Amino acid sequence: MTEQHFDALIVGAGFGGIYQLHKLLSLGLSAKVIDFAGDVGGTWYWNRYPGAMSDTESFVYRYSWDTEDLQSYPWSHHYVKQPDVLKYLEHTVERHGLRKHMQFNTEMVGADWDDEAGVWRVEVNTGEVFVVKYLVTALGLLSKANYPDIPGIETFQGNMCHTAKWRTGLQFENKRVGVIGCGSTGIQVITDVASKVKTLACFQRHPQYSVPSGDGPVSDEYRDFVNQNYTEIMRQVRDSVCGFGFVESKTSFRSVPVEEREDIFEQLWQKGNGFRFMFGGFSDISTDREANEAACKFIRKKISQTVKDPEKARKLMPHDYYARRPLCDGGYYQQFNRENVSIVDLKDTPISRITPNGIETSDGNVHELDVIIFATGFDAIDGNYNRVRIRGRDGKTLKQHWEPAGPTSYLGVFVPEFPNLCMITGPQGPFSNIPPAIELHVELISAMIERAEQRRRESDSPGQNVIEALPEAEKAWIQECESAAEGSLFKETASWIFGNNVKDKKVALRFFFGGLAKYCKAVQDIINNGYRGFRPLGGERTSAET
Ligand code: NA7
């Protein structure tokens, strides 16, 4: 068993791990990134399914900290597709000389805190053990694939693939293809493959509301404008609620005259983007039932205008709240005008089993297929944490800590009794565009580590210089998250955000819904108040003593 010693081990080589590595190296620390994958990319390494793209616009789906790169790195369209994002992350790693600090095909299997030595001992699948002061987990919000539990799945004689573990080279052209799931991923796959396959059967349990993405090539003038305003754009992102690069509306639905409301929805529809549609025209689509229903009605109208077959249109129309993570697409509903594309409404005829030839529904019909694509989502947020042993002070595992109430944290980053464990986008982090949320976490973690290291150098009791959230701080943050979600229709709508999508998973609030600006302010307040909520570092006085 080989031991490797570093100041920090970072688990995950996606957006979070890459930036964290860069930050820690620039602080003069020794650090290593490991990843189960064969190369960099995180989510974007695995999700290579046809049509995969970010639903955040290109200009804000990137790091803000490398100004020169921000202004010079090319992007051709308003949305970046999976190969573009992967290339961008590879480019960032090369540009900053990070690859030599990374080790791939290496999976964390367990991590134990050694309280006496003040280190984490991290076991990986290669037999090595990493002994580090800081363990930073950049495991990704959406990385553990959720496979459906359908009887007979193992008997299927065609090809099966989950979108989040896409096998490049999987042949679907001119084949009979079935897609299970119509969330963000399902609609992207369906939109992309519909014209390439022989037949496409879309197995849909709950239809979702989707609006156009508004994708298209970027003009030189647009790019010049963005470049000239990048500093202000990135400042606004942090000062906004969702960080999608537009200003959220402060206008309530009811304050707008009835005859003007439809125009606003139409403008949002034309402009594109799911988050803009939900938050850019009215302030209360996700909180006011009447406003929400008006948005639903508008989208349903668009579905009925787009989809020519009234029966297909009926099946595609959602009737629950518009309160899941908002979707956008590049022509999803239009695909159902193709003769070869059908929709199987699983509310009418649930799947009974998978047979060697296809999928059998409760009406006895076997939908014959050559390929089944599972677009069935993720065991999100805590899924990746619960499958490994992470043992903190006194031998308690993170899983045990989270068992009673669901996954909790202080600021989405720190957990009491787990010293020097720092999670990038852990549970109860901001519900927003992901890169800015990641940056905020990396910057907070780096500042905390820098402070602990400084104290360690100054103090004669280095073992005590650990970053550790206090239990009361975690409780207070849970409370903050609860209040921020108060009145949100998201809370009344089942989705992966609360863990409803995975059998036996604890249903709990997994995000801070207060927005990026409030999150930044909360962090700043904590720092300004003597790092409130953290165990004092060795030699420091507690707030009760000062
Ligand atoms: P989602 O949004 O969790 O969607 C998963 C879809 O799969 C959804 O339509 C589910 O239906 C469906 N599903 C899951 N299990 C089954 C079974 N057993 N049978 C039929 N249908 C099933 O995951 P995505 O990957 O699309 O998107 C996740 C996030 O990634 C997205 O929000 C973006 O942030 C990127 P249900 O609605 O549960 O009835």
Q: Is the CB of 494 under 6 A from ligand 1?
A: no
Q: What percent of the chain has pLDDT above 70?
A: 98
Q: Is the CB of 346 under 6 A from ligand 1?
A: yes
Q: Is the CB of 375 under 6 A from ligand 1?
A: yes
CA-closest residue to ligand 1 atom 17: 148
Instruction: Please give the number of the atom of ligand 1 that sits closest to the Cα of 205.
Output: 39
**Cα 85 to ligand 1 centroid, rounded to whole Å:** 22
**Cα 320 to ligand 1 centroid, rounded to whole Å:** 15
Q: Is the CB of 143 under 6 A from ligand 1?
A: no
**Nearest residue to 439 via CA among 386, 366, 516:** 516
In this model, does residue 456 exceed pLDDT 50? yes
In this model, does residue 543 exceed pLDDT 70? no
Residue 546: per-residue pLDDT:
41
How much is the average pLDDT of 134-163? 95
Residue 143: per-residue pLDDT:
86
Residue 352: per-residue pLDDT:
98
Q: What is the DSSP letter of 249?
A: P
How much is the average pLDDT of 481-505? 94
CA geometry: angle at 520 spanning 438 and 85, to 5°?
25
**Cα 203 to ligand 1 centroid, rounded to whole Å:** 11
| Band (462; pLDDT cuts 50, 70, 90) | low
How much is the average pLDDT of 234-255? 98
**Cα 376 to ligand 1 centroid, rounded to whole Å:** 4
**Cα 243 to ligand 1 centroid, rounded to whole Å:** 23
SS3 state at 398: helix
Return the best residue to mutate from 205, 359, 361 for the ligand 1 pocket (most ligand atoms within 8 A of CB): 205
In this model, does residue 205 exceed pLDDT 60? yes
Q: What are phi and psi of 253, to 5 degrees?
A: -60, -45
How much is the average pLDDT of 340-355? 98
Contact indicator for 202, 343 with CB cutoff of 8 Å = yes
Q: What percent of the chain has pLDDT above 90?
A: 94
**How many residues does this entry show for the chain?**
546
Instruction: Please give the number of the atom of ligand 1 that sits closest to the Cα of 186.
Output: 26
| Band (463; pLDDT cuts 50, 70, 90) | low
Q: Is the CB of 326 under 6 A from ligand 1?
A: no
Q: ipTM greater than 0.95, yes or no?
A: yes
CA-closest residue to ligand 1 atom 23: 377
CA–CA distance from 394 to each of 36, 399, 405, 417, 543 (Å)? 28, 14, 20, 8, 26
In this model, does residue 274 exceed pLDDT 50? yes
Over the chain, what is the mean pLDDT? 96
Within 10 angstroms of residue 348's Cβ, the number of other Cβ atoms is: 10
In this model, does residue 121 exceed pLDDT 90? yes
Residue 302: per-residue pLDDT:
98
**Cα 345 to ligand 1 centroid, rounded to whole Å:** 15
Residue 465: per-residue pLDDT:
87
CA-closest residue to ligand 1 atom 35: 184
DSSP strands (E only) in 58-215: 79-81, 102-103, 108-114, 119-124, 129-137, 159-162, 176-180, 199-204, 210-212
pLDDT in tens, 161-194: 999 999 999 999 999 999 999 999 999 999 999 9
In this model, does residue 430 exceed pLDDT 70? yes
CA–CA distance from 137 to each of 108, 289, 295, 382, 535 (Å)? 10, 38, 38, 11, 21
| Band (539; pLDDT cuts 50, 70, 90) | low
CA-closest residue to ligand 1 atom 21: 181
CA geometry: angle at 519 spanning 498 and 253, to 5°?
70
Q: What does the CA dihedral 486, 489, 493, 496 come to, rounded to 10 degrees?
A: -60
Q: Is the CB of 148 under 6 A from ligand 1?
A: yes
Report the alpha-carbon distance of residue 274 to residue 55 in Å, rounded. Answer: 8
Query: Which sign does the torsion angle of CA 454, 460, 464, 470 carry?
Result: negative
Residue 1: per-residue pLDDT:
75
Say which range, 48-52, 85-89, 501-505, has the weakest mean pLDDT: 501-505
Within 10 angstroms of residue 73's Cβ, the number of other Cβ atoms is: 15
**Cα 149 to ligand 1 centroid, rounded to whole Å:** 13
**Cα 482 to ligand 1 centroid, rounded to whole Å:** 24
CA-closest residue to ligand 1 atom 12: 181
Six-digit token string for 85:
């994002």
Q: Is the CB of 181 under 6 A from ligand 1?
A: yes
